[in-house]
Structure 1
Amino acid sequence: MSYTHIQEAVDQQVGLITLNRPQVLNALNRKLIEELVDALEQMDRNEEVRVIVLTGNDRAFAAGADISEMANESAIQMLLKDQFAVWDRIAYVSKPIIAAVSGFVLGGGCELMMSCDMVIASETTKIGQPEVKLGVMPGAGGTQRLAHAVGKVKAMEMLLTGEPINADEALRYGLINKVVPIEVYLQEAIKLARQIASQPPLAVRLIKKSVHKAVSHSLDEGIAFERNCFYLLFASEDQTEGMQAFMNKRKPNFTGR
Structure 2
Amino acid sequence: MSAGEALLVEERDDRVILRLNRPEVRNAIDLTLVEALHEACRQLEQRPRVALLIGSGGTFAAGADIGQLRERRREDALAGINSGIFDRIHRLPLPTIALLDGYALGGGAELAYACDFRIGTPAVRIGNPEPGLGILAAAGAAWRLRELVGEPLAKEILLAGRTLTGEEAREARLLNEVVEADELEAAGHRLADRITVQAPLAIRLTKSAFHAPREAHPLIDDIAQAVLFETQEKHDRMTAFLERKAKKEGA
Distance 1:230 1:108, change over 3 A: same
The alignment partner of 2:118 has SS state of strand
Q: Return closer, same or farther for 1:72/1:52 CA change in 2, 3 Å cut-off.
A: closer
Corresponding position: 1:9 with 2:10: yes
CA distance in 1, matches of 2:72, 2:91: 29
Residue 158 of structure 1 pairs with residue 157 of structure 2: yes
Aligned mate of 2:224, from 211, 222, 229: 229
What percent of counterpart residues are identical?
33
1:246 corresponds to which residue?
241
- Tell me how many residue pairs correspond in the alignment: 243
* Cα drift, residue 28 of structure 1: 0.3
Question: What's the CA shift for 1:174?
Answer: 1.8
Q: Contact 1:13–1:194 (CA<8 Å) still a contact in 2?
A: no
Does structure 1 conserve the Cα–Cα contact (< 8 Å) formed by 2:26 and 2:62?
yes
Task: Write the letter of the residue equivalent to 2:45.
Answer: D
Map of 1:75 onto structure 2? 74
**Superposed structure 1 runs of 4+ greater than 4 Å apart:** none
Unaligned runs of 5+ residues in structure 1 are 251-257
Q: Normalising to structure 1: TM-score of the pair? A: 0.88
Decide whether the 8 Å contact of 1:96 with 1:208 is kept in 2.
yes
User: Which structure 2 residues correspond to residues 98-247 of structure 1 after superposition, within 5 A?
Assistant: 98-213=97-212, 217-218=213-214, 221-247=216-242
- Structure-1 separation of matches of 2:150 and 2:55: 27
Q: Could you tell me which runs of 5 or more consecutive residues in structure 2 were left unpaired when the two chains were aligned.
A: 246-251
Does the Cα contact within 8 Å between 1:58 and 1:103 map onto a contact in 2?
A: no
Distance 1:72 1:57 in 2: 26
AA in 2 matched with 1:110: A
Q: Please, what TM-score do these two structures have when normalized by structure 2?
A: 0.90
Q: 1:245 corresponds to which letter in structure 2?
A: A
Q: CA separation of 1:38/1:77 partners in 2, compared to 1, >3 Å: closer, same or farther? A: closer
The SS at the match of 2:9 is strand
Identify the residue that residue 33 of structure 2 maps to in structure 1. Answer: 32
Q: Distance in 1 between matches of 2:73 and 2:56?
A: 33
* Contact 1:33 1:87 survives alignment (8 Å): no
The corresponding residue for 2:93 is 94
Closer, same or farther: CA 132–201 of 1 in aligned 2, 3 Å: same
